[in-house]
Amino acid sequence: MSITIYPPSAYVNKEQLIKAWINFNGTGTIAIRDSFNVLSITDEGTGDYTITWDIDFANVNYTCTAMTGSNNVSLLIAVTGATYAVGSIEIYSVNSVGAAQDNEIINVIAIGDQ
């Protein structure tokens, strides 16, 4: 299998790269399974987690996205802009009716200037 990048002359600069990511267990005693540029995670309550970056972002204008799964069901996580900080982000995991919910698998990626 070959991979073609369009346009062929395109290049990736450092601003376009994923600067941090994490896969963690958000139930019981939360635990990082694997990560890059993540210092720690904190359980703030049901469905409420703070991720602390190892290297801070240059400002709070970075982008962050998250996804979660539990019992083979994928759910979206609300990533609230009100809790962006250069050194961390607080995310909220909710179920299909909007109630806070812990999940077994939580994945987060962040892109921005550092």
Q: What's the pLDDT tens digit per position in 101-110?
A: 888 889 999 9
Give pLDDT, residue 69.
73
Give pLDDT, residue 80.
57
Give pLDDT, residue 94.
80
Work out the angle at residue 35's Cα, subtended by the Cα atoms of residues 30 and 40, and round it to the nearest 5 degrees.
Answer: 50
Give pLDDT, residue 28.
93
- The string of DSSP codes covering 44-79 is EETTEEEEEESS--SSS--EEEEEEEETTEEEEEEE
pLDDT surpassing 60 at residue 8? no
Kindly report the pTM of this predicted structure: 0.82
User: What is the overall mean pLDDT for the chain?
Assistant: 84
